[in-house]
């Protein structure tokens, strides 16, 4: 009904909305309150050398971590069938972008603003006063706040990318979009605030997580578990007798490329978490990372060979990732000699966990094992191996170090508490979010769409067209059928044709 | 001797295969084929332009059996391949003149499947 009174009301509302949007835009357009470290830059046009050097390292490391998006993309593409590869490209691009906007708007403030339970300063990266005081947990470094923001944002994006490893080949695209908003705006910022943003687990409990075995990898894997429980297995993964079947991915070379890109990105992930080049810690952390990953590959190949009598390419990669995840928390807290132990143990745990999980849960890339189980192990390993000098240097946890130095289970207890708290929080929020999505929008494509592949059914285009469209049609000379008893109806959209 | 050629949906293959195995018909070949019938095409949209794909993927089963067994094979295929929608496929039956087992040089109907009379035997057991 369009009464005469209705139009003015609508336009008035429109005007009001437009004013509000303009006001919001104007507010954001004003320069943010000048920060202490950038004040000099604004005034003199030069940054102090130490600020410039540290900022440069943080940005370089952040770019390495950003490149891990390519790693996740190729890892997932390699482990998917050829009909479900293009969708991963779209997902990575969209999720990475949503994460940036959400983390800028609210995520960073929740994660790194002051506060025990949740940060409250730095929305839209403005009005935060002196960043060295406001974001005191990153105060060890004098890098500019913009470089620190970028570094923390790419971490958030990595954590989000981890979630989807369990969901390949059957999830609706819109689920990525909805959960990305919730995850990058609330779930990840709040949980990571507790662990490495100066929140209660770090400041009051004394949990140690240098670069995020728990805060990035376990959070991501926990989200992945929540969605997997609601989503269910791919069609054909479990036979009528309930036994798991292999659904081989279409390209081990692309998988390998993904692994190597992730490995490269991890140098930024761990060594960059110093946020600081001048304290000289970063080369040592990079070395710790390298030794752990190497031990992980060797241990995983040995374990897979022991269990299956095959030199399993996928397990070699999963072992590398598992070891890198495990060394992430302790990388800034342990001495070199412990790194191969931490990585090697992860390399044994990950294949065994993949074999065990695969019996019940369809996790196509092994994210639950490589990021979840290995993340738990890595976080706990701080409780064993943290050296007193580094605990004191970082200023978190038991200053006497882990079990082997202090003989005390205190640090191990802090770590375990942190894991339980983060897992419960993230699982509860994620499960609620995915449950709501399932009940309204739906999580899964239809059986026919799954059979046809997500590329054609969700995106209307194949990742590898030559594999699915016969050559005569691909070059466009093939006509549709004519002269049959019923004239062929117009072709369907992919959505119609596959449902 | 007859050859049964069936064009079916991919998802129908597994139940047909399982039942044929249990009935004593392990010998068959399949091909992944593309063809068109009454089923509609799929339109691929690529950067704003369209490409309609009328040749849709099917699985073709080829199975040579003794004349007495033809109906068993056809019944199995019809039972599992029918969804009732356009695109379920077709079955053809062709005469076959002779069959040889390469390993031994034997010929005749007994070279075709597990062993002669497997179908009726399986029915007796069931």
What pLDDT is stored for residue B32 in this prediction?
93
Provide CB contacts within 8 A for B91, sequence distance 6+: B4, B5, B6, B7, B74, B77, B78
How many angstroms separate the CA atoms of B95 and B73, rounded? Answer: 15
Report the residue of chain B nearest A239, measured CA to CA: B14
Burial of B81 (0-12, 13-18, 19+ CB in 10 A): buried
Q: Which two tokens stand for residue B9?
A: 């949906």
Q: Which two tokens stand for residue A60?
A: 């370089």
What pLDDT is stored for residue A8 in this prediction?
46
Q: Which residues in A lie closer than 8 A to residue B43 (C-beta atoms)?
A: 460, 491-494, 497
Q: Which residue has the tokens 């897992």?
A: A423
What pLDDT is stored for residue A291 in this prediction?
97
Q: Which two tokens stand for residue A63?
A: 């770019």
Q: Which two tokens stand for residue A26?
A: 């104007």
Question: What radius of gyration do chain B's Cα atoms show?
Answer: 18
Q: Which residues pair with B50 in a beta bridge?
A: B45
How many angstroms separate the CA atoms of A130 and A387, rounded? Answer: 33
Q: Is A363 helix (H, G, I), strand (E, B) or coil?
A: coil
What are the tens digits of pLDDT across the range B20-65? 999 989 999 999 999 888 888 888 888 788 888 888 889 999 999 9
Q: Residue A313 to residues A148, A298, A367, A372, A411: CA-CA distances in angstroms?
A: 36, 12, 16, 21, 36
> Smallest CA–CA separation between A86 and chain B, in Å?
12
**Interface ipTM:** 0.77
How many angstroms separate the CA atoms of A168 and A453, rounded? Answer: 11
Are A233 and A362 in contact, with CB atoms under 8 Å apart? Answer: yes
What pLDDT is stored for residue B43 in this prediction?
81
Test the A interface: residue of B9, B42, B52 with most A CBs within 10 Å = B42
Helices (H), chain B: 13-23, 70-81, 118-125
Residue A412: which of A401, A428, A422 has the closest Cα? A401
| Residue-range domain boundaries for chain B | 2-125
Are B53 and B41 in contact, with CB atoms under 8 Å apart? Answer: yes
How many angstroms separate the CA atoms of A64 and A144, rounded? Answer: 18
Are A441 and A178 in contact, with CB atoms under 8 Å apart? Answer: yes
Q: Which residue has the tokens 């040592």?
A: A284
A467 in B contact zone (CB under 8 Å): no
Report the residue of chain A nearest B32, measured CA to CA: A468
Report the residue of chain B nearest A455, measured CA to CA: B44
How many angstroms separate the CA atoms of A307 and A286, rounded? Answer: 31
Q: How many CB atoms lie within 10 A of CB A475?
A: 10
How many angstroms separate the CA atoms of A46 and A403, rounded? Answer: 47
How many angstroms separate the CA atoms of A332 and A18, rounded? Answer: 49
Are A242 and A304 in contact, with CB atoms under 8 Å apart? Answer: no
> Smallest CA–CA separation between B119 and chain A, in Å?
24
Q: What letters, b where the CB count within 10 A reaches 16 and e where it falls short, cover B33-65?
A: eeebeebbbbbbeeeeeebbbbbbebbebebbb
DSSP state at residue A105: I
A275 or B122: which leads in pLDDT: A275
- To the nearest 10°, report the CA torsion of A186, A187, A189, A190: 100
Q: Which two tokens stand for residue A351?
A: 């294949």
What pLDDT is stored for residue A39 in this prediction?
55
A480 in B contact zone (CB under 8 Å): yes
Provide CB contacts within 8 A for A382, sequence distance 6+: A208, A209, A329, A330, A333, A334, A397, A402, A411, A415
Q: What fold, for B2-125?
A: Alpha-Beta Plaits (3.30.70)
What pLDDT is stored for residue B50 in this prediction?
81
Give the one of A476, A486, A497 whose C-beta lies nearest to B42's C-beta: A497
Q: Which residues does chain A have with pLDDT short of 70?
A: 1-45, 476-499
- Kind and range of the H or E element at B34? strand B29-35
Q: Angle between the A313-328 and A339-358 helix axes, to the nearest 10 degrees?
A: 130
How many domains is chain A partitioned into structurally? 1
What pLDDT is stored for residue A136 in this prediction?
87
Are A396 and A411 in contact, with CB atoms under 8 Å apart? Answer: no
What pLDDT is stored for residue A25 in this prediction?
60
- Kind and range of the H or E element at B31? strand B29-35
Q: Which two tokens stand for residue A83?
A: 């009909």
Q: In the structure, what pLDDT confidence band is assigned to residue B120 with cuts at 50, 70 and 90?
A: low
Report the residue of chain B nearest A447, measured CA to CA: B11
What pLDDT is stored for residue B109 in this prediction?
87
Q: Which residues in B lie closer than 8 A to residue A81 (C-beta atoms)?
A: none
DSSP line for B88-117: --EEEEEE----B-TTT--BSGGGTSSSTT
- Kind and range of the H or E element at A392? helix A388-394
The reply to whether A176 falls in a domain is yes
A494 in B contact zone (CB under 8 Å): yes
What do you get for the CA distance between the two ends of chain A, in Å? Answer: 36
The reply to whether A462 falls in a domain is no
How many angstroms separate the CA atoms of B119 and B121, rounded? Answer: 5
The number of CA neighbours under 13 Å toward the Cβ of A283 is 3
Give the one of A460, A479, A491 whose C-beta lies nearest to B40's C-beta: A491
What pLDDT is stored for residue A483 in this prediction?
44
Q: Which two tokens stand for residue A379?
A: 């976080």
Report the residue of chain B nearest A484, measured CA to CA: B38
Q: What letters, b where the CB count within 10 A reaches 16 and e where it falls short, cover A366-375?
A: bbbbbbbbbb
What pLDDT is stored for residue A311 in this prediction?
94
- Residue A322, domain extent: 49-444
Give the one of B36, B42, B46 whose C-beta lies nearest to A481's C-beta: B36
What are the tens digits of pLDDT across the range B59-111? 999 999 999 999 999 999 999 999 998 889 999 999 999 999 999 999 988 88
Tell which A residues from 441 to 460 touch B, by Cβ distance under 8 Å. 451-452, 456, 460
The reply to whether A5 falls in a domain is no
Helix, strand, coil % (nearest 5) of chain B? 30, 35, 35
pTM to 2 decimals?
Answer: 0.86
The number of CA neighbours under 13 Å toward the Cβ of A180 is 22
Residue A397 belongs to domain with CATH number: 1.10.3430.10
What pLDDT is stored for residue A391 in this prediction?
93
Q: Which two tokens stand for residue A424?
A: 């419960």
């Amino acid at each position: 009904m369009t009464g005469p009174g209705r139009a003015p009301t609508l336009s008035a509302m429109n005007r009001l909305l437009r004013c509000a949007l303009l006001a919001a835009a104007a507010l954001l357009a004003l320069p943010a309150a000048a920060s202490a470290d950038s004040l000099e830059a604004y005034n003199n046009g030069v940054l102090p050398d130490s600020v410039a050097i540290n900022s440069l390292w943080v940005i370089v490391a952040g770019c390495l971590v950003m490149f891990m998006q390519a790693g996740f993309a190729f890892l997932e593409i390699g482990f998917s069938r050829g009909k479900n590869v293009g969708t991963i490209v779209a997902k990575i691009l969209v999720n990475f972008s949503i994460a940036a906007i959400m983390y800028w708007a609210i995520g960073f403030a929740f994660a790194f603003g002051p506060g025990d339970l949740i940060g409250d300063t730095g929305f839209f990266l403005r009005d935060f006063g002196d960043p060295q005081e406001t974001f005191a947990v990153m105060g060890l470094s004098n890098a500019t706040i913009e470089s620190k923001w970028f570094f923390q944002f790419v971490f958030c994006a990595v954590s989000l990318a981890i979630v989807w490893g369990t969901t390949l080949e059957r999830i609706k695209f819109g689920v990525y979009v909805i959960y990305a908003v919730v995850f990058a705006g609330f779930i990840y910022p709040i949980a990571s605030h507790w662990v490495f943003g100066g929140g209660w687990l770090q400041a009051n409990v004394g949990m140690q997580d240098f670069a995020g075995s728990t805060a990035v990898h376990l959070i991501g894997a926990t989200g992945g578990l929540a969605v997997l429980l609601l989503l269910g297995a791919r069609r054909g993964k479990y036979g009528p007798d309930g036994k798991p079947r292999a659904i081989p991915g279409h390209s081990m070379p692309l998988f390998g490329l993904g692994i190597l890109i992730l490995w490269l990105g991890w140098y930024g992930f761990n060594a960059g978490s110093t946020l600081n080049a001048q304290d000289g810690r970063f080369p040592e952390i990079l070395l710790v990372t390298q030794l752990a990953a190497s031990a992980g590959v060797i241990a995983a190949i040995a374990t897979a060979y022991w269990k299956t009598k095959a030199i399993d390419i996928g397990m070699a990669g999963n072992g590398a990732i598992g070891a890198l995840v495990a060394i992430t928390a302790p990388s800034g807290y342990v001495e070199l000699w412990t790194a191969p132990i931490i990585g090697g143990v992860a390399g044994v745990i990950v294949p065994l966990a993949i074999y065990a999980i695969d019996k019940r849960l369809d996790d196509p890339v092994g994210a639950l094992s490589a990021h979840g189980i290995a993340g738990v192990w890595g976080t706990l390993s701080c409780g064993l191996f943290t050296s007193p000098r580094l605990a004191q240097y970082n200023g978190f946890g038991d200053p006497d170090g882990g079990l082997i130095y202090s003989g005390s289970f205190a640090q191990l207890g802090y770590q375990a508490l942190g894991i339980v708290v983060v897992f419960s929080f993230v699982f509860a929020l994620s499960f609620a979010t995915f449950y709501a999505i399932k009940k309204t929008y739906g999580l899964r494509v239809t059986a026919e769409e799954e059979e046809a592949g997500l590329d054609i059914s969700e995106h209307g285009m194949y990742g590898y067209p030559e594999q699915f469209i016969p050559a005569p049609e691909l070059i466009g000379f093939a006509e549709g059928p004519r002269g049959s008893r019923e004239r062929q109806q117009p072709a369907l959209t992919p959505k119609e044709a596959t449902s | 001797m007859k050859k049964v050629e069936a064009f079916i949906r991919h998802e129908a293959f597994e139940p047909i295969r399982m039942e044929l195995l249990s009935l004593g018909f392990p010998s068959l070949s399949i091909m992944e084929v593309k063809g068109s019938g009454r089923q509609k095409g799929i339109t691929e949209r690529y950067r704003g332009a369209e490409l309609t794909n009328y040749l849709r993927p099917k699985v073709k089963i080829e199975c040579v059996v003794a004349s007495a067994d033809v109906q068993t094979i056809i019944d199995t295929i019809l039972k599992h391949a029918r969804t009732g929608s356009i695109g379920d496929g077709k079955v053809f039956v062709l005469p076959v003149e002779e069959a040889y087992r390469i390993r031994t040089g034997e010929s005749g109907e007994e070279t075709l499947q597990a062993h002669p009379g497997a179908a009726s035997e399986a029915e007796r057991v069931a």
